Amino acid sequence: MNEKLWEKGYKVNEEVEKFTVGDDYITDMKIIEYDIKASVVHSRMLRKIGLLSAEEQRKIEEALSELLNLVKEGKFQIKPEEEDCHTAIENFLVKKLGEIGKKIHTARSRNDQVLTALRLMYKEELKEIESLLKELQKTLGKFIEKFGDVKFPGYTHTRKAMPTDFATWAGALKDALEDDLKLLKTAYEIVDQSPLGTGAGYGVPIDIDREFTAKELGFSRVQWNPIYTQNSRGKFEYLILHTLSQISYDLNRFASDIIFFSLPEIGYLKLPKELCTGSSIMPHKINPDPLELVRAYHHAIVSKMLMTVTLPSNLIFGYHRDFQLLKKPMIEAFEISKNIVRIMKIIFDHLEVDKERSESSITEEVLATHRVYELVKQGVPFRDAYRMVAEKYGREKD
């Protein structure tokens, strides 16, 4: 029999139970490995303070190791009636170890359990995205080495403006990603504090060693205030998604640039057809669908960010079931972010520059501002020089 951790001997209305569980039992398969890891460390702490014997702790850790292997092999699933990974883990231990398994929940709540599992996941995901961004920066460096000297017209108002080059263009994304890496580091440092041991937001009425569990789990410090620990749920997610939206914002802008510059009518960039898809009705079409999706996914991340900042904002302190809805958008946003960074790396790995088309597009009017400054160097006041050159192109083009 799979009991709920909050079981009190009454039966919940079936529709209410289905509604409150939602798809949490599915979503939690994404964090169960982190919850198992935290449970191992928690059991070691309980042994350290004398609430588990060495033998009891050893059996719990062995059982959790078995469960972890089952999860990794795809041989374990959380049942809908178990609600979440926390219940599934405890039920597994009780079924395996009997009375010993019932001790694992000592000095913790599902509230600090889920926070701990999520924080561990967040840290790992942020590090992975950091690594992917650095790889993309390396690819941009190679692109600059190969095509950086090629000049082409810069644009304002989607009209030709002044000359630039591909080193400056690709370097703009490289620099933007450097700032994004700083944001990632800041988000990581703030998230890197252990909530384990704060219970439901008011601590637990027994002395525990929170510094031990924080160190064992790889956190840099303990998040001491139990009320703030719960209040930070939503706040930390908002911070992370804001950071991810900065990354997607930068990739969105450059995806639009590549789509524009690779238009056959413009042709500064050549996008290999292997990176494109086609039309089901128009035989000639080769479409930059991956870039359009990179562009679109920015808005998906922003929508998830808005949800995380609005959902908890009017709640009083303490845990609320509302928080359940924060897990899925976070998991999805991390996957989206990793995918769009990977795709942009592939794009830049294969993107080519048409040197002839690019440089031949620097027509006379693109050099108008340079002509102004040639006169300025001769001592002509800027405004007079501007008007002298403007006469040639017509003031209506100012």
Q: Which residues are catalytic?
A: 157, 279
Closest to 145 measured CA to CA, from 357, 321, 361, 353: 353
CA atoms within 13 A on the CB side of 310: 6
- Report the C-alpha gap between 358 and 372 in whole angstroms: 23
Supply 160's token pair: 């030709």
- Report the C-alpha gap between 362 and 165 in whole angstroms: 11
- Report the C-alpha gap between 338 and 321 in whole angstroms: 29
CB contact burial 44-77 (16+ within 10 A = b; e otherwise): bbbbeeebbeeebbebbbebbeebbeebeeeebe
CB contact burial 176-210 (16+ within 10 A = b; e otherwise): bbeebbebbeebbeebbbbbbbbbbbbbbeeebbb
Element (H, E) at 287: strand 286-287
Cross-strand partners of 186: none
CA atoms within 13 A on the CB side of 200: 7
Which long-range contacts link 275-279 to residues 24+ away (Cβ below 8 Å)?
275/346, 275/347, 275/350
Supply 140's token pair: 């941009």
